[in-house]
Amino acid sequence: MLKINQEKITEEIKKELMGICPFGAFIEGNNGLEISAACKMCKLCVKKGPAGIVEYLEEVKETVNKDEWKGITVYVDHLDGKIHPVTYELIGKAKKLAKITNHPVYALFIGKNITDKAKELLCYGVDEVFVYDFKELEYFVIEPYTNAFEDFIQKIKPSSILVGATNMGRSLAPRIAARFRTGLTADCTVLEMRENTDLVQIRPAFGGNIMAQIVTTNNRPQFCTVRYKVFDAPEKIARASGNITKMELDNNKLVSNIKVLGITKKEVELDISEADVIIAAGRGVKSEKDMAMISELAELLGARTACTRPLIETGWFDSRLQIGLSGRTVKPKLIITIGISGAVQFAAGMQNSDVIIAINNDPNAPIFNIAHYGIIGDLYEIIPGLISKIKLGDSLVKAVV
């Protein structure tokens, strides 16, 4: 920062400094000469100005003692005690990351009447489950949930915290990160761990055109959110190991100005994230009436239909059926992409699928770089042919599809 020693300022010095600055950053303020936002920190005022009038002060940052922060924590996302499957996926990833630093894996469970349900988490390899079980936490109310989360961090000091990118997780994680003045990387697609406990958080940026690598080197804890279906859940073990620790919290931390008067359940939304087989249509489909043959193929295969962003903009699909960075992340056993080029924005939402079959008339389409099987040709010839062979019970087509 630049500091002006106001007691040494005279009218002559003011004019001299204003003349030196090429950006016009010196202005007259209520408290004397001030530096405006136009300053580019070129330091000409320090180098060429009168000695001792403007000083350049370099702020010394406090360094964090990383040895005081241990463990990788997964926030348990749930509704009425029913644990969201993204939690298990994050536990699986946390276990892999923890092997590099030899840290324990924790789970943070906040709610009401959840202590017994916490035992289930131990069957997935969690070392310790920390439970905040209070009647005031029956509903997801942001203030007491944030207070409980903050209390956990202050007492346990975990090095890294993984949160599912659900509606609740996206609401809660930024508040906690702000309280601890630490970073938060949203919608990570890759997580890596360094031996010094720095968590490398990788996510698409600039519309998916680049992959940003973000590291919080001098702050703890490290926060990130991850979408559902990005990582693999671990296998459930028959014999649970680990501990359940019931946490205490001051009553004043459970108070909120928000009162839940009642709950109205929404109609169950369309969710392609759980589909085992998906047929995804893209810009290569010329008209809405052509969707009939794609729907027929999906019906024959017991699949769900999905799409890319252009077909949402045309109004052919519900927005909840979009795959990609601005849509849903899916991980089916089989996905068939039809007329989709495979831009990064789309690929990031489905590249972890077990089997990918791509149909496109462009042999250089990026989708073929991630597809396990590729069919180069006109979809208006290929799709009817596939439908015909499936109806006839073609064994080769059934084996592949």
CATH code, 29: 3.30.70
**Domain stop point among 32, 56, 80:** 56
Task: Give the confidence band of 394 by pLDDT, cuts at 50, 70, 90.
Answer: low
Residue 221 lies in a domain: yes
Quick one: CA torsion of 371, 372, 376, 377, rounded to 10 degrees? -90
Distances from the Cα of 116 to the Cα of 119, 122, 131, 241, 249, angstroms: 6, 11, 10, 15, 19
Return left, alpha or beta for 87; rule: phi > 0 is left, psi -120 to 50 is alpha, else beta.
alpha
Asked if 99 and 197 sit in the same domain, the reply is: yes
Q: What is the mean pLDDT of residues 64-77?
A: 95
Provide the pLDDT for residue 389. 86
Provide the pLDDT for residue 365. 93
Residue 204 lies in a domain: yes
Amino acid type, 39: C
Residue 148 lies in a domain: yes
Asked if 76 and 48 sit in the same domain, the reply is: no
Q: Answer for the pair 71, 158: CB distance below 8 angstroms, yes or no.
A: yes
Provide the pLDDT for residue 398. 52
3-state secondary structure of 278: strand
Asked if 177 and 303 sit in the same domain, the reply is: no
Asked if 146 and 82 sit in the same domain, the reply is: yes
The C-alpha atoms of residue 386 and residue 380 are separated, in whole angstroms, by 11
List pLDDT tens digits, range 359-387: 999 999 999 999 999 999 999 999 999 89
Asked if 285 and 393 sit in the same domain, the reply is: yes
Residue 115 lies in a domain: yes
* H-helix or E-strand spanning residue 193: strand 190-193
Look up the CATH number of the domain holding residue 307: 3.40.50.1220
pLDDT higher at 158 or 38: 158
Provide the pLDDT for residue 179. 95
Asked if 51 and 114 sit in the same domain, the reply is: no
Residue 280 lies in a domain: yes
Sequence-separated (6 or more) residues with CB below 8 Å from residue 188: 201, 202, 203, 224, 225, 226, 230
Q: Answer for the pair 126, 105: CB distance below 8 angstroms, yes or no.
A: yes
Asked if 211 and 113 sit in the same domain, the reply is: yes
Residue with tokens 């680049």: 210
Asked if 344 and 247 sit in the same domain, the reply is: no
List pLDDT tens digits, range 145-199: 999 999 999 999 999 999 999 999 999 999 999 999 999 999 999 999 999 999 9
Asked if 147 and 40 sit in the same domain, the reply is: no
Structure tokens at 365: 């389409």
Domain count, the chain: 3
List the domain range (segments joined by +) for residue 44.
2-56
Q: CA angle at residue 329 from 325 to 331, to 5 degrees? A: 145
The C-alpha atoms of residue 202 and residue 366 are separated, in whole angstroms, by 21
Asked if 190 and 209 sit in the same domain, the reply is: yes
Residue 36 lies in a domain: yes
Asked if 148 and 294 sit in the same domain, the reply is: no
Q: Model-level pTM?
A: 0.78
Provide the pLDDT for residue 208. 67
Task: Give the confidence band of 59 by pLDDT, cuts at 50, 70, 90.
Answer: confident
Q: What is the mean pLDDT of residues 18-45?
A: 88
pLDDT exceeds cutoff 80 at 293: yes
Residue 267 lies in a domain: no
Look up the CATH number of the domain holding residue 163: 3.40.50.620
Provide the pLDDT for residue 396. 47
183: which strand partners?
none
Asked if 78 and 226 sit in the same domain, the reply is: yes
